[in-house]
Structure formats: C-alpha cells, structure tokens
A and B are shown apart, each in its own frame.
Chain A
Amino acid sequence: MTPEREEAIREGASHWLVQPRTIRLLWWISGLVLALTIVAQIWITVHAYFSIDSWPGFYAGFGFLSCVAMVLFAKVLGWVLKRPDDYYVEPTQLAPNVLEKNGQRDDV
C-alpha cells in the first residue's frame, strides 16, 4: 500500500475490501467453493466411521445444522444469562458502620 493510499484510508476512503462489488464477488466465490466441496465427493470416496457419515454432503449439512442449533441455543440461553456489562461493577463495599461514620450509608 502506498503512503498516499494509506492516508486516504485513514481519512475514511472506502477500502476495496468493503466495496459492495467486492462483497458481491466474495459471496459468489464462496458459494462456488461451498458447492465444489460437495461435488468433490463424486470423485472422493468418504469412508464411514459409522453409517450416515459417508452420505454425500453429510459434513456440510451436519456442520451447518449444528451451528444453527448452537446459535439458537445460545440465543435462548442469552435471554436468561445476559446482564448489562456493568452488572458486577459496584462501589467498594465497606462495613455498614464505617459507611455510617463517613455519612455514605444510603442503602439501608
């Protein structure tokens, strides 16, 4: 990268990687590669450890579905477990009588 280009990027010019054209291209290429990994199973025999794992596209489908399941599970768990990120941040706790002496006791 030339220093001028670097300067332009620093000032906010859009990088080639984030231009819509590149992103569209990237989606197409990725799609092609994805298809290719499945098509490759025509020539490459996959030996099964068990039974269904030698089906064409098993790893693709299993990988995709388990990821969807994990994301959804995380989402549901998030409703229960998520708290604002200052949840544990608290002013220093002093003993009640010390707080009273300092005139800071407002919680009781």
Chain B
Amino acid sequence: MFEFAMPPAFILITGALLVAVARPAMRPVIALLAPLMTLYAIWQIPDGVQLTTTFLGYQIELVEGSALRRMFATVFALMAFGGVLFAFRQSKWYELSAAMIYAAGAIGVSFAGDLITLFIFWELMALFSTVVVWCGGTESARAAGIRYAIVHLTGGLILKIGIEGIYVATGSLEIQALTLDSFAAWMIFIGVLINAAAPPISAWLADAYPESSPMGGVFLSAFTTKTSVLALILLFPGQPLLVWIGLFMIFYGIIFALLENDMRRILSYSIVNQVGFMVTAIGIGSELALNGAAAHAFSHIIYKALLFMSAGAVLYQTGVRKCSELGGLFRTMPLTTVCGIIGALAISAFPFTSGFVSKSMISSAAGYEHLEIVWFLLIAASAGVFLHAGIKFPWFVFFQKDSGLRPPEAPWNMRIAMVLFAAACIVIGLFPNLLYGLLPYPVDYEPYTAEHVVTQLQLLLFAGLAFFVLLPLMKRTETISLDVDWIYRRAIPVVAGKIDRGLNTANEDASKRLLGLGTSLMKGLKESSYRYFSSRAPMGHTALWMAAVLALFLVMTLII
C-alpha cells in the first residue's frame, strides 16, 4: 500500500517516458503495469481538493476528487490498459508512449480542480493525440494529423481566451457551472464543444481517426470527445442549447455513417452520434440525465474501443479498409466477428449489453422532463444507431458477400483485449449496478422492466428489418462525403491558390513592365544623349537642367 503521492496522470506519464527509454523486452511490462497502477491511484483519491501547487504565480489545484471524476478517470485508465494490451506487440514504442501520455492527459483533465490545470492537460491531449494520428505512417496520415492539430490547437486557443476572460472577470479559476452570459463563457463553451466534435466543427474526427494505425484508432476513439463530455457536465450542466446541439450530432452521425464506405470512418461518425446522446443528456440536465450522460460515456468508451479493435484487427490482418472490398470475414476470423457483433449490439443498446443500461437513462430522462420532441427524436435515433452501426458495420465487414479474403484470426494479444472488452460490455449489461454504483447521483432507475425490454426489442428488430429491406439502397459506393472540412481542404486552398497565382502573375507583369520602361528610357538617353548633354546641345537645355537640379535641392532642404 503506498500513500497517495502524486496525481494519477503523472504515474501514467512516468510510465510512458519509461517505455521510451526502457529495453525493448521491458516495454510491454511497463506499458501494461502503468495503467493498472494509475487505476489504483485513482481509487485512492477521496472527494475534494487533494493537491495544490503554484504555477506561474497562480494557485492551481492539480487533483480534485469526486465520484464523477473518479468514474471518468477509471474508464480512461481501463481504456489505456485495454488499448496497450491490444497494441503492445504491433505498435512501435513511440506510438504506445504517445498513446499513454494522451491517456494521461485525459486522466489529468478528469481530476483538474481548476481551469488552468484543465487547460494544460487539454493541450497535452491535443499534442499527443496528433502524434498518435501521425503514427498511421502514411502521407494521408501526415496531412490529416496536421489538419487535426490545427483544429485542436485553435480550439485550445479559444478555450484559453475564455479561461483568461473568466479569470479577469471573476478572479476565480474554479471549475463550476457557468451560464452563457458573457463572451468568456461562450469562448469556453465553444472551445470545449470543438473537442466534442460538435457542429459545425465535426469533420476533424472522421477525417483524422481513420488515418491512424489499426492500433492507434483504438486509443483515439476514447479520450478526446469523452473528456469534453466530462467538461460539459462540470461546466454547463442543464444548458438548453446543448439539447439541440446534441440532437444535431446524433443525426449527423447516423446520416454520414450511412453514406460512408470506409469501415473505421463509419465508426468515427458513430462516435459523433454517441457523443450527441451524451451532449443532449447534459442539456436536459436533470439528475437522471447527467447520470445517463456519465454512464453512457463509460459504456460507450468500452464498446466503441471494442468496435475499433475489431475493425483494427481486420485492417491489421487484411490491410483493407473499404466496406466495398471487405465481406465474408466471419469464415476465418470468427472471434473478431463475435466480438465486433457484441460491440455492435452494445452500441445499439440491445438488452443485456452495456449500452442498454446507460442509453435508456437518457431517453427516460427526456420522457420524465416532458420533452416530447426530444424524446421522439431520441427514440428514432436509437433505431438509427442500430441501422448505421449495429448492423451496417458487422454486416458489411464480416458478412455481406464473399470478398475472397481469407485472413487468419488476429494475433493473441488483440484477441485477449477484444474478449476482455466484449466481456465488460455484457457484464455491465447483466449487472448494471456495477456501473450505477460509480455514478455521481444516487440511482433510482431500473432498466430491466418487461415493457422496456419488449419495446426496445421492437424498436431495434424492426430497425434491423428496415436495414435488410432497404439493402439495395445501401449498396456501398467508392465515395467519400463532403463535409465542413471541404472549406479548409478545398475552398480555401483553391481561393488562396488563385490569389497566390494572381499576385505572382501581377508581380511578374509589373516587374517586366518596369524593367522595359527603364530599358527604353536608358536606351533613349544613350542613343540621343547628344541632344541634352553634348557641347552642341542648345544653351536652353543646360539652363533647364540646372534649374531642375537646383529645384530638387530646394525641395530636399525643405523636407529634410
């Protein structure tokens, strides 16, 4: 038993640095132990501010405990462990190391007692998640990583403006519920929402995550958006605007996932969709809704990581990412198929999976608050989740047609990680009190009533029927869908290129003309200089030149 000595995030950062310098044989041991030690440390943190220090003259609170914070940190640490387990034999050491610091950033944000600490760990996440994207190793990963970094550093800047504004206005850096009544609060709101992939800046997620390595995607799916959910719960609970932002994200995710062909991009859009459920819940703001948002974040991280693991295993074994070229993999990758299906059922909130016990809290909260339109939209969206992620992903990747691919089953460490996370999805589904016990507010909610199970089955199974009936309409096309990122990937480069080329041509023209003018002037002077300067030139000319030079002197003395 060791006493609580340093923030849990620092344990993971230390682990990541040790991975970097250790002998290759020691790296997996350190990488697997560090998240577990972090997890232990997380559970040693009691409620309230635990550790303060001085940073640039500010009193900052590095660690503040509460049930909600511990819950998020727990799932981040579990995720770091599962991700490392999935990746440690395949990833390069620097990918593991970067992913661990990324996870440490998320844990640091979870325990941040004030806005400065939050900001520092927020930026740590931005930097090292970019490294994880770059570890994809391709030219498109490099470019996507740069776009990702620009979006997140801009978001960080906006957040920082907000934090400074709050400090100037109130003199307090406390993390507390804010209202959108000042410029600074709006800046914080926008800065946090950019990380949640809220509209109109949602495109970065589906742009960057699918370019990472098969292992990197597992890490990326978990941290950035969910720390943002935590920040929203802490800073803007019950902000009505969030309901509509969340609903937009939900349907944006579904529609774009339906249009998509790249398997990990489908999953990326469904992250936006799922975070939309949480954002809506935070907007509803009742105790049940906030519990629902937190519970859904917890179960979402696990089943989404599981989905990214199964997609990653397929990508690792086949090198193919397009649904149009995949299919029929259940023959030789049965375990990956089963785990992928469990993840897909969990994301669809099928009874007896983790999604069922968490997502139903959100729609019930909308019902209890008498938000009729919101409730109907949430129910329609639940059916849509089954459509775009619950069936579409496993169907097109593992079944569909026989693509002729016969990859062997994933490596053993990937299989163990998938089985563990699949088991977690089912255990939480069967014993929801394990999850409910971690929630910030006391839970008085029973997910398993006969009517709830029956109505949910009706909803999902008929959504499934719709999928197979409409299958001809869903034929995969080798396309991508335009999004807001078109503005910075196409429109701005085209306009900037036009301006650049225009200025270049103008520059060349101008210098050509100027030179031509000078040349002809000199030529004229040279050829007909006798007219002005020779002894045969008329007296009048010389007098004129003298006058001109004297006038010039006069003007110069006046000015200087």
| A residues lining the B interface (CB < 8 Å) | 1, 6, 9-10, 12, 15, 17-18, 30, 33-34, 37-38, 40-41, 44-47, 49-50, 53, 57-64, 66-75, 77-78, 80-85, 87-89, 93, 95-97, 108
Contact = CB atoms under 8 A, between A and B. Distances in A.
B462 A63 contact: yes
Nearest to A31: B465
B383 A71 contact: no
Contacts of A69: 380
Nearest to B478: A85
B518 interface: no
Given A41-B454, A45-B451, A67 B387 contact: yes
B500 interface: yes
Contacts of A71: 258, 387, 466, 470, 473-474
With a 10 A CB-CB cut-off, give which of B458, B461, B464, B479 has the most chain A CB atoms. Answer: B458
B393 to A, nearest CB: 15
A60 B458 contact: yes
Interface in B457-486: 457-467, 470, 473-474, 477-483
A66 B383 contact: yes
Contact of A59 (B387, B458, B477): B458
Contact of A96 (B331, B464, B500): B500
B466 A97 contact: no
Most chain A CB within 10 A, of B262, B328, B457, B474, is at B457
B501 interface: yes
B54 interface: no
Contact of B384 (A45, A66, A82, A93): A66
B467 to A, nearest CB: 7
Contacts of B368: 49
A30 B466 CA distance: 13
B451 A84 contact: no
Interface of B: 140, 251, 254-255, 258-259, 261-262, 322, 328, 330-332, 334, 367-368, 370, 372, 375-376, 379-380, 382-384, 387, 402, 406, 450-451, 454-467, 470, 473-474, 477-483, 489-490, 493, 497, 500-501, 504
Given A18-B402, A46-B455, A61 B466 contact: no
B389 to A, nearest CB: 13
B479 A82 contact: yes
A77 to B, nearest CB: 6
Name the 8 nearest CB pairs between A and B, nearest first: A49-B367, A67-B466, A66-B380, A63-B383, A59-B458, A63-B459, A74-B258, A82-B479
A77 B255 contact: yes
Contacts of A45: 451
B467 A87 contact: no
B500 A88 contact: no
11 contacts: A34-B465, A63-B379, A63-B463, A64-B462, A66-B384, A71-B466, A74-B259, A81-B481, A85-B480, A88-B480, A108-B501
Nearest to B207: A88
Contacts of A60: 458-459, 461-462
A37 B384 contact: no
B259 A97 contact: no
Nearest to A6: B332
Contact of B482 (A44, A53, A64, A81): A81
A9 B480 contact: no
Nearest to B367: A49
A38 B481 CA distance: 37
Contact of A75 (B375, B463, B473, B479): B473
B458 A37 contact: yes
Contact of A87 (B322, B376, B480): B480
Given A18-B402, A63-B462, A67-B466, A44 B479 contact: no
A74 B481 CA distance: 11
Contact of A44 (B331, B451, B504): B451
Given A10-B406, A87-B480, A67 B455 contact: no
A54 to B, nearest CB: 9
Contacts of B322: 85
B471 to A, nearest CB: 10
Contacts of A9: 331-332, 406
B457 A37 contact: yes
A105 B365 CA distance: 61
A108 B322 CA distance: 35
Contacts of A59: 379, 455-456, 458-459, 462
Contacts of B490: 88
Contacts of A63: 379-380, 382-383, 458-460, 462-463, 466
Nearest to B457: A37
A5 B504 CA distance: 68
Contacts of A93: 493, 497
A34 B455 CA distance: 11
Given A10-B332, A68-B466, A85-B480, A46 B451 contact: yes
Contacts of A84: 478-480
A47 B457 CA distance: 16
Contact of A83 (B375, B479, B501): B479
Contacts of A58: 455
Contact of A70 (B254, B370, B450, B497): B254
A76 B332 CA distance: 37
Nearest to B490: A88
Contact of B462 (A18, A46, A47, A61): A61
